Chains A and B, each alone.
Chain A
């Protein structure tokens, strides 16, 4: 079955960087767009980024644009989220997510979610 396992979260100082990873299994990774969604403590969901199945297009949330890079390695079935110049407001659980349907060119419904990795930005 589909599994998405995130890693790379932790405590980082304001202005610091982190790279989150998400290892996928149970499906043909190279056929699916991947997304990141975050949830601050006690708050709602906020979409963060999308990367097309073939890596040819990316979309980012305005709140983090310019500070994020989403990438993927289809040979390793892994998607990454590089986050720079982190702020306390970026503290959240970051979920890796897989598009419901294959070969979609813009963010689609999310069919599967990982369990999330907690990023805490604090001095």
Chain B
């Protein structure tokens, strides 16, 4: 069971704005930055957001990250069909001395 809690699923229609949450605790999200990864079926994950709010080059500005207290969020605006994928948050945890991944959120574009 993941200590970082994500909703198992999310959905939206093309053009909509969708938010995926990642809830943790003071030993992880509350203290450290959060990274987000996207995984298309049958492929390796890819970095989508790092240090909570930074986009790697090539990631469009439709994607944004934020954090408040022990919860982080990934927002996708102008939803497109190609955004359909699994999304994972991750953060360092200083009580475990390791990295935690969220359980993942399957995003469906209706």
- Give the interface of A toward B (CB within 8 A): 35, 37, 44-47, 50, 59-62, 95, 100, 106-111, 113-116
Do A113 and B46 touch (CB < 8 A)? yes
Q: Is the CB–CB distance between A47 and B56 below 8 Å?
A: no
Inter-chain contacts of A59 with B (CB < 8 A): 97-99
Given known pairs A100-B50, A100-B56, the reply for A109 and B35 (CB within 8 Å) is yes
B47-78 near A? 1/0 per residue, CB < 8 Å: 10011000010000000000000000000000
Contact A47 B46 (CB under 8 A): no
What B residues does A45 contact at CB under 8 A?
A: 37, 39, 45, 88, 90, 101, 104
Give complex CA distance A90, B101 in Å.
Answer: 17
Partner of A50, one of B35, B39, B44, B99: B99
Is there a chain A Cβ closer than 8 Å to B103's Cβ?
yes
Pairs across A and B, CB under 8 Å, 24 listed? A37-B101, A44-B86, A44-B101, A45-B37, A45-B39, A45-B45, A45-B88, A47-B90, A47-B99, A47-B100, A47-B101, A50-B99, A61-B98, A62-B96, A62-B98, A95-B44, A100-B47, A100-B56, A107-B92, A107-B99, A109-B50, A110-B47, A113-B45, A114-B44
Q: Hey, which chain A residues are within 8 Å of B88, CB to CB?
A: 44-45
Q: Which residues of A contact B103 (CB under 8 A)?
A: 44
**Chain B contact residues, majority secondary structure:** strand
Size bin of chain B's contact surface:
20 to 34
- The answer to whether A60 and B98 have CB atoms under 8 Å apart is yes
- Bound together, the chains give a CA A2 to CA B2 distance in angstroms of 30
CB of B102 within 8 Å of the partner chain: yes
Q: CB-nearest residue of chain B relative to A112?
A: B47
Q: Which residues of A contact B92 (CB under 8 A)?
A: 106-107
Cross-chain contact of B44 among A60, A111, A116 (Cβ < 8 A): A116
